[in-house]
C-alpha cells in the first residue's frame, strides 16, 4: 500500500470527503485517513440535513450562498448519487415576542449580506405550511434555503473521490503530526506512517488533539446532539424547519420519513458526557418540541434515534485556514453543527487554498486559526 | 474495535447476476443487486450500506434482513461474515408514536 501522496486529509466526514474530491478534480493525489471504522461517522451523519443560509452567522453566509448557487443544484448529477436536494425554503419559527426578536436580528444581519430573507406573520407561515400550530406567531422565511440527505451526500463525495483515485483508509486513527525541516511531512497513526507535502486536518473535535503535536490549538468543545427519524409518512411539506430557540430542526425527506434533530439543554452536564450515547430523555424532549409546532405528527412513529457530537468553536464559526507556523498544514474544523450545508462551498475553497493559495469567497480571513483572543 | 480498512483494495469488478432483482430489505425494498453494487462503490461496511441505501433502516430496523445483507456483503468482499461488524441497534426497540415517546413521565409509562 502506498503511504505517500501530495495531500493527506485527516478526517473522513463530509468536509474531508468533499475536500478530497475537489483536490482530486484538480489532479492532486490524496490519501484520506478516518479514525473510526466508517466514512461520515461524526457530525456528517448526525444532523438535520439543512442546506440553509438564513439563521447563520454573517461570516458564514458568503460561502454557503456560493455553494447553494453553484454546487448544490447539480450535486446529485456530479456525484452520481441522489443527495435528495430540495430547495423549497427554510422557515425559522417563533412562538413568543422574544423569539421574534431573535429572528428579526438574524434576518437583518443576513439581509445586510445580500440574502433574500423576510419576516412573515403567523398566517403567512400557515399559508406556506398549513400543518403548523396556531402557537406559531411568526417566522423568518428564506425561499432559497432547503435540505438534503447528509448520509448520501457524504458517501456520495466519498464514492466520487474514490472513483477519481483518492485512497480512503478507515480505522486509521491519527496520533500525531511530524515536521521535517520545519515543514509538515508525516502523519503518524496507530499502525502506519503516511507522508504528504500538504496535510489537512478535518477531524472535528479530534482535530484539537492532532494539531497539539505541532503546537497548534483551536478553542472548541464537544456538544452532544440527538437525531430521530419517523416511519415514512404521506407527503406533508417540503420546507426545512428550525425554531428561534433551536428546540428542534429538520424536514420531511423525499422518502417520506421525518428527520429531526435537537437537544435537551442538559447535555453539557450529563454524567457520562464524552460518550456518544443517546440519553433516555433526549428523544422524548425532541418529540414534545415537534408536537407543539406540528400537532398532526403526534401519531407518527419514531423508528430510530441516535446521538453524536459536534465540534463547537469558541465563536461558533469554523476554522478554515493555512497554519503559518507549520508550512503545508491546513485546518478545516470547528464547524459548530453548521457544517453540512456549507460543506460543498467549503470543500471548493479548501481545495483552492491547498493548491493555488487563494479562495473563491473573499472573506476567508474570518476563518483564520489565529483569530481567537482573550477578552482582556 | 477499529480495524484498518483500505477502501481501494481490489475486490474485483461488479458482475451482474440473475437474482439481482430479489428484494432483500422488505421494509425499504432494496434489492440484492443494489446492495452488491453499493459494495463495489465503496460501501465496505454494513453501517455505510444502511446510510447509503436505507436497507435495514425501515420499520423492522433490519431485524428481518440483516443476516442476509451481511452474507451478501461478505461474499462480495470475499471475507467471512464474522469479520463484518453489525450495525448499531438503536432505541426505541419498537416503532413508537411521538405522543407516547414524548410523554415519558405521564400515564403512558
Q: How far are the Cα atoms of A98, A124, A147, A261, A294 from residue A136, in angstroms, in the given order?
A: 13, 10, 21, 19, 10
- Looking from the CA of B11 toward its CB, the CA atoms found within 13 Å total 22
> What does the pLDDT look like over B53-94, one tens digit per residue?
999 999 999 999 999 999 999 999 999 999 999 999 999 989
- The answer, yes or no, to whether residue B106 has pLDDT greater than 60, is no
Please give the mean pLDDT across all residues of chain B.
93
Task: Give the Cα separation of A343 and A12 in Å (integer).
Answer: 13
Mutate to test the interface with A, among B48, B77, B79, B105 (most CBs of A within 10 A): B48
Give mean pLDDT in consecutive 10-residue pieces for chain A, a chain of 376 residues.
Answer: 93 98 98 97 93 95 97 98 98 96 96 96 97 96 98 98 98 98 97 97 97 97 93 96 90 96 85 70 93 95 94 97 98 96 98 94 94 94
Q: Is residue A90 within 8 Å of A241, Cβ to Cβ?
A: yes
Residue B77 distance to chain A (closest CA, Å): 16
Which of chain A's residues have a Cβ under 8 Å away from the Cβ of B57? Answer: 229, 303-304
Parent domain of A335: 4-47+151-220+315-367
Q: How far apart are the first and last CA of chain B?
A: 36
Which of chain B's residues have a Cβ under 8 Å away from the Cβ of A172? Answer: 2, 4
Q: Is residue A208 part of a domain?
A: yes
Contacting residues for A306 by C-beta, under 8 A, at least 6 apart:
A46, A226, A227, A228, A278, B88, B90
Judged by CB atoms closer than 8 Å, whether chains meet at B7 and A168 is answered as yes
Q: CA-nearest residue of chain A to B90?
A: A304
Name the residue ranges covered by the structural domains of chain B. 23-101
> What does the pLDDT look like over A295-335, one tens digit per residue?
999 999 999 999 999 999 999 999 999 999 999 999 999 99
* A188 touching B (Cβ < 8 Å): no
Which of chain B's residues have a Cβ under 8 Å away from the Cβ of A258? Answer: none
* B71 touching A (Cβ < 8 Å): no
ipTM at complex level: 0.95
Q: Is residue A347 part of a domain?
A: yes
Full DSSP string of B3-16: --EETTS-------
* pLDDT band at B17; cut points 50, 70, 90: very high
Residue B83 distance to chain A (closest CA, Å): 13
Q: What is the DSSP letter of A144?
A: T
Contacting residues for A275 by C-beta, under 8 A, at least 6 apart:
none
> Would you call A280 helix, strand, or coil by DSSP?
helix
Judged by CB atoms closer than 8 Å, whether chains meet at A159 and B95 is answered as no
The closest CB to that of A168, out of B8, B98, B99, belongs to B8
Q: Is residue A109 part of a domain?
A: no
Q: Is residue A268 part of a domain?
A: no
- Structural domains counted in chain A: 1
* A119 touching B (Cβ < 8 Å): no
Q: Is residue A263 within 8 Å of A225, Cβ to Cβ?
A: yes
> What does the pLDDT look like over A233-256, one tens digit per residue?
999 999 999 999 888 899 999 999
* A92 touching B (Cβ < 8 Å): no
Beta-strand pair A30-34/A167-170: parallel
* B93 touching A (Cβ < 8 Å): no
Q: Is residue A258 part of a domain?
A: no
- The answer, yes or no, to whether residue B109 has pLDDT greater than 60, is no
Q: What is the DSSP letter of A184?
A: E
The whole-number pLDDT of residue A339 equals 95
**CATH class label, B23-101:** mainly alpha
* A158 touching B (Cβ < 8 Å): yes
Full DSSP string of A281-347: HHHHHHHHHHHHH-GGGTTPEEEEEEEEEEEEETTSS-EEEE-TTSTTEEEEE--TT-HHHHHHHHH
Task: Give the Cα separation of A9 and A331 in Å (integer).
Answer: 10
Judged by CB atoms closer than 8 Å, whether chains meet at A300 and B59 is answered as no
Task: Give the Cα separation of B89 and B57 in Å (integer).
Answer: 10
Residue A268 distance to chain B (closest CA, Å): 21
Which of chain B's residues have a Cβ under 8 Å away from the Cβ of A306? Answer: 88, 90
* B43 touching A (Cβ < 8 Å): yes
Task: Give the Cα separation of A37 and A60 in Å (integer).
Answer: 31
Judged by CB atoms closer than 8 Å, whether chains meet at A287 and B41 is answered as no
Which residue's C-alpha cell is 452567522?
A57
Q: Is residue A352 part of a domain?
A: yes
Residue A159 distance to chain B (closest CA, Å): 6
Q: How far are the Cα atoms of A61, A120, B83 from residue A362, in angstroms, in the given order?
A: 11, 31, 48
Mutate to test the interface with A, among B2, B46, B64 (most CBs of A within 10 A): B2
- Whichever domain contains A185, its CATH number is 3.50.50.60
Task: Give the Cα separation of A373 and B64 in Å (integer).
Answer: 55
- How far is C-alpha A360 from the geometric centre of its chain's CA atoms? 19
Which of chain A's residues have a Cβ under 8 Å away from the Cβ of B89? Answer: none
Q: How many CB pairs under 8 A join A and B?
A: 128
Q: Is residue A319 part of a domain?
A: yes
Judged by CB atoms closer than 8 Å, whether chains meet at A299 and B92 is answered as no
Is A75 buried (19+), middle (13-18) or exposed (0-12) by CB count in 10 A? buried
Amino acid at each position: 500500500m502506498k503511504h505517500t501522496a501530495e495531500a493527506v486529509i485527516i478526517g473522513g466526514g463530509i468536509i474531508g470527503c468533499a475536500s478530497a474530491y475537489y483536490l482530486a478534480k484538480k489532479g492532486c493525489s490524496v490519501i484520506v485517513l478516518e479514525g473510526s471504522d466508517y466514512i461520515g461517522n461524526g457530525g456528517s451523519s448526525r444532523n438535520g440535513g439543512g442546506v440553509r443560509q438564513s439563521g447563520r452567522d454573517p461570516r458564514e453566509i458568503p460561502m454557503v450562498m456560493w455553494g447553494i448557487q453553484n454546487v448544490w443544484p447539480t450535486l446529485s448529477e456530479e456525484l452520481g448519487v441522489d443527495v435528495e436536494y430540495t430547495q423549497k425554503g427554510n422557515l425559522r419559527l417563533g412562538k413568543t415576542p422574544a423569539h421574534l426578536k431573535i429572528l428579526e436580528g438574524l434576518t437583518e444581519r443576513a439581509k445586510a449580506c445580500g440574502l433574500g430573507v423576510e419576516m412573515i406573520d403567523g398566517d403567512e407561515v400557515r399559508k406556506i405550511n398549513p400543518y403548523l400550530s396556531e402557537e406559531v406567531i411568526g417566522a423568518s422565511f428564506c425561499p432559497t434555503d432547503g435540505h438534503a440527505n447528509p448520509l448520501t451526500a457524504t458517501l456520495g463525495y466519498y464514492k466520487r473521490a474514490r472513483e477519481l483515485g483518492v485512497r480512503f483508509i478507515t480505522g486509521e486513527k491519527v496520533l500525531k503530526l511530524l515536521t521535517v525541516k520545519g515543514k509538515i511531512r508525516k502523519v503518524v497513526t496507530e499502525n502506519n506512517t503516511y507522508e504528504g507535502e500538504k496535510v489537512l486536518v478535518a477531524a472535528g473535535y479530534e482535530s484539537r488533539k492532532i494539531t497539539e503535536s505541532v503546537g497548534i490549538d483551536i478553542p472548541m468543545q464537544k456538544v452532544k446532539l440527538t437525531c430521530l427519524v419517523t416511519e415514512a409518512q404521506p407527503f406533508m411539506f417540503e420546507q426545512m424547519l428550525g425554531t428561534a430557540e433551536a428546540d428542534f430542526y429538520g424536514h420531511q425527506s423525499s422518502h417520506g420519513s421525518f428527520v429531526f434533530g435537537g437537544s435537551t439543554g442538559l447535555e453539557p452536564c450529563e454524567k457520562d458526557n464524552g460518550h456518544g450515547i443517546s440519553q433516555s430523555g433526549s428523544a422524548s424532549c425532541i418529540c414534545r418540541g415537534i408536537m407543539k409546532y406540528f400537532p398532526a405528527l403526534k401519531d407518527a412513529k419514531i423508528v430510530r434515534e441516535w446521538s453524536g457530537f459536534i465540534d463547537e468553536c469558541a465563536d461558533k464559526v469554523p476554522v478554515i485556514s493555512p497554519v503559518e507556523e507549520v508550512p503545508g498544514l491546513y485546518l478545516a474544523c470547528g464547524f459548530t453543527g453548521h457544517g453540512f450545508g456549507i460543506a460543498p462551498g467549503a470543500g471548493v475553497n479548501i481545495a483552492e487554498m491547498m493548491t493555488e493559495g487563494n479562495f473563491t469567497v473573499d472573506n476567508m480571513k474570518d476563518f483564520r486559526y489565529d483569530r481567537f483572543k482573550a477578552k482582556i | 474495535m477499529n480495524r484498518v480498512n483500505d477502501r481501494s483494495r481490489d475486490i474485483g469488478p461488479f458482475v451482474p447476476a440473475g437474482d439481482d432483482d430479489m428484494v432483500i430489505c422488505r421494509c425499504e425494498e432494496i434489492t440484492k443487486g443494489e446492495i452488491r453494487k453499493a459494495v463495489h462503490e465503496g460501501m465496505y461496511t454494513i453501517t455505510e450500506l444502511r446510510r447509503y441505501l436505507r436497507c435495514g433502516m425501515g420499520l423492522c430496523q433490519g431485524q428481518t434482513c440483516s443476516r442476509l445483507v451481511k452474507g451478501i456483503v461478505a461474499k462480495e468482499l470475499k471475507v467471512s461474515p464474522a469479520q463484518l461488524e453489525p450495525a448499531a441497534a438503536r432505541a426505541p426497540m419498537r416503532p413508537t408514536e411521538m405522543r407516547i415517546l414524548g410523554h415519558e413521565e405521564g400515564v403512558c409509562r
